[in-house]
Amino acid sequence: MFNDILVIEESELKKSQFNDLSITEMHTIEAVGMYRKKTTSEVAKELSITVGTLTTAINRLVKKNYVERIRSEDDRRVVKLGLTKKGKLLYRVHQNFHRQMIEAVLVDMGKEEATALLKALENLHLFLQEYK
């Protein structure tokens, strides 16, 4: 199922106005996030990659105008990552796809079934976090 989701995401990405991105770049944009500026270290940790690997990806995303580096006003040595207008648009489109997927999963489910599914997914998430 996970592979199916990735294939669909990649296919939709290539058909969209964001066809200059890879799935990995799209997920990097998702990790940078929309609402809070994050350091490179925070984003790298979230993606479980090295800061060096992330820096290479961020350089590409800056050139493509999806991500921007923002210097802290308090400490000019600190650089945070944020999304550009184009990056925010992609983020919203991607979140909408996830929302549609969740709505499709929950269709015709009662409250008890949805609660059981949520608990199962939480358990899976905990397992994956511990496995890392």
Give the residue carrying structure tokens 């969209």. 16
For residue 81, list its beta bridge partners.
Answer: 38, 69
* Residue 20 Cα distances to 50, 69, 85, angstroms: 24, 20, 16
For residue 71, list its beta bridge partners.
Answer: 79
Q: How many residues does the chain have?
A: 132
Comparing 71 with 57, the larger pLDDT belongs to: 57
Spell 55-71 as b/e; 16+ CB within 10 A means b. Answer: eebbeebeebebbbeee
Domain boundaries defined on the chain: 2-97
Q: Residue 58: which H helix or E strand, with range?
A: helix 51-63
For residues 66 and 89, the answer to whether their CB atoms sit within 8 Å is no
Q: 109 by DSSP, 3-state: which?
A: coil
Tokens of 7: 């294939």
pTM of the entire predicted model? 0.83
Question: pLDDT per residue over 24-64, tens digit each?
Answer: 999 999 999 999 999 999 999 999 999 999 999 999 999 99
pLDDT at 2: 81
CATH topology of domain 2-97: Arc Repressor Mutant, subunit A (1.10.10)
For residues 25 and 32, the answer to whether their CB atoms sit within 8 Å is no
pLDDT at 90: 95
